[in-house]
Chain A
Amino acid sequence: DAGVIQSPRHEVTEMGQEVTLRCKPISGHNSLFWYRQTMMRGLELLIYFNNNVPIDDSGMPEDRFSAKMPNASFSTLKIQPSEPRDSAVYFCASSHRRNHNSPLHFGNGTRLTVT
């Protein structure tokens, strides 16, 4: 089991540029979650999907943020345009929703720096 795979591991970009973060969930998992972590706010849930369908995006901070899950094995989180305050570590997690108590499995994150 390769675990949740995120890419890139690090991203440095200039303010105003578009940023796309990628996630490959664990095979067979049908729920996917995007979290953001900063020193000030800790781990925040941004959005989650069940069976590729967005269920709750109330944690997405602004319209500049969007997430898609075109199929069961891939998801993207896009920021356009990026701003310095978006600098954070972004985590993707997946779980198997057949059992409602299935734990989340996290990737190792993408560290985003917006200058």
Chain B
Amino acid sequence: DAKTTQPPSMDCAEGRAANLPCNHSTISGNEYVYWYRQIHSQGPQYIIHGLKNNETNEMASLIITEDRKSSTLILPHATLRDTAVYYCIFGGSQGNLIFGKGTKLSVKP
């Protein structure tokens, strides 16, 4: 079973920030949090990952709470092309990630 909890769907206005929450209360100290997204009919695309510090790259920012039990993925200026299913995952010392159902983000004009 998936070990993270995400809202099944969210809407966001184009040009606004999209904030996607994730609960991962059972994460252990050395496990990273990963975010992927999947645009219809394509393979999952890696977005960002982090351990305990906030991270930022060209795609998004990742905010991890101090207790590491939850995180938020931030798309600073959402576009229509960001419409996708977003997966929050952790775990697998071998890199084997177990995907849940994710959050379906709809960016609307």
B41 to chain A: which residues have CB within 8 Å? 89, 109
Stretch at the interface among B9-17, B43-51, B67-75: B43-51
Tell me whether A42 is interfacial, beta carbon within 8 Å. yes
What's the count of A-B pairs with C-beta under 8 Å?
58
How far apart are A25's CB and chain B's nearest CB, in angstroms? 12
- Given A91-B44, A104-B46, A107-B43, A56 and B97 contact (CB-CB distance below 8 Å): no
Asked if B95 and A97 sit within 8 Å, CB to CB, the answer is yes
**What is the interface residue range for chain B against chain A?**
20 to 34
Count chain A residues whose beta carbon lies closer than 8 angstroms to a beta carbon of B.
26
A 2-23 contacts with B by CB, 8 A: 4
Stretch at the interface among B19-27, B58-66, B98-106: B98-106
Asked if B101 and A55 sit within 8 Å, CB to CB, the answer is no
- Given A101-B49, A101-B51, A103-B34, A45 and B95 contact (CB-CB distance below 8 Å): no
Residues in chain B within 8 A of chain A (CB atoms): 32, 34, 36, 41-46, 49, 51, 87, 93-101
Residues in chain A within 8 A of chain B (CB atoms): 4, 31, 33, 35, 42-43, 45, 48, 50, 55-56, 89, 91, 93, 95, 97, 100-109
Known A43-B44, A50-B94; 15 more pairs at CB < 8 Å: A31-B94, A35-B99, A42-B99, A43-B87, A48-B94, A91-B43, A100-B93, A103-B36, A103-B46, A104-B46, A104-B97, A105-B46, A106-B43, A106-B44, A107-B43
